[in-house]
Amino acid sequence: EVQLVESGGGLVQPGGSLRLSCAASEFTFSNYWMNWVRQAPGKGLEWVANIDPDGSAKYYVDSVRGRFTISRDNANNSLFLQMSSLRAEDTAVYYCVRAPEMGTVDYWGQGTLVAVSS
Amino acid sequence: DVVMTQSPLPLPVTLGQPASISCRSSQSLVYSDGNTYLNWFQQRPGQSPRRLIYKVSKRDSGVPDRFSGSGSGTDFTLKISRVEAEDVGVYYCMQGTHWPWTFGQGTKVEIQ
């Protein structure tokens, strides 16, 4: 069974930085686009960023472009999200999500909570 | 960005009865390859989302056949033929045709 396990969340002050990680297993990680999707407490889902299989193409939602960087390490089956200049509105559970083909995502991790507060 | 609008937002349902959720997009979701990348997800309380339907009507493995998706262009529907207690949760549509991918606001299904 596909497994995606996020880590790295926590409490950070506004303007601070945080690096999220996602450990993938039970599938050939290097063949898939990967995504970060977030969910603010009690709110809906928002796609944040994604990255192509070899890490050369990256896309971001406007609200995080220039502050967040998505990356991957195919040798270690890992996905990352480097977040900087964090704002209160970035507070959310961040999910690592696999994209099996164009236009869709299938497997989701359990999520890691990022709380931005002073 | 493509705006996805779901209705209703709260959906009180009766066990054993049908239920239907509408999802409308602000632009056509037909991609240049002819496919329509409209997905439906279920999020049960305290859980991560789970994909139910992709490409409008393709049901995922393990998803009960009481769930079905339909629609075209800008208008889509998720139907539950007979609601069961385990169907309680929030349902989201998501378009994967245009960057950035966007979700509907979520429809909360609860037993009345």
User: CB B100 to CB A59 under 8 A?
Assistant: yes
Of B48, B100, B104, the CB nearest to A109: B48
Q: Chain A contacts of B6, Cβ < 8 Å?
A: none
The answer to whether the Cα torsion of A113, A114, B1, B5 is positive or negative is positive
Provide mean pLDDT across the span A14-35. Answer: 98
Q: Taking the mean position of all CA atoms in its chain, how far away is CA A33?
A: 12
Closest Cα to residue A22, out of A2, A41, A39, A46? A2
User: What is the end-to-end Cα distance of chain A in Å, rounded?
Assistant: 39
Tell me what pLDDT residue B11 has: 97
Residue A116: what are its φ and ψ, rounded to 5°? Answer: -110, 110
Provide mean pLDDT across the span A68-91. Answer: 98
Tell me what pLDDT residue B39 has: 98
Asked if the C-beta of B33 comes within 8 angstroms of chain A's C-beta atoms, the answer is yes
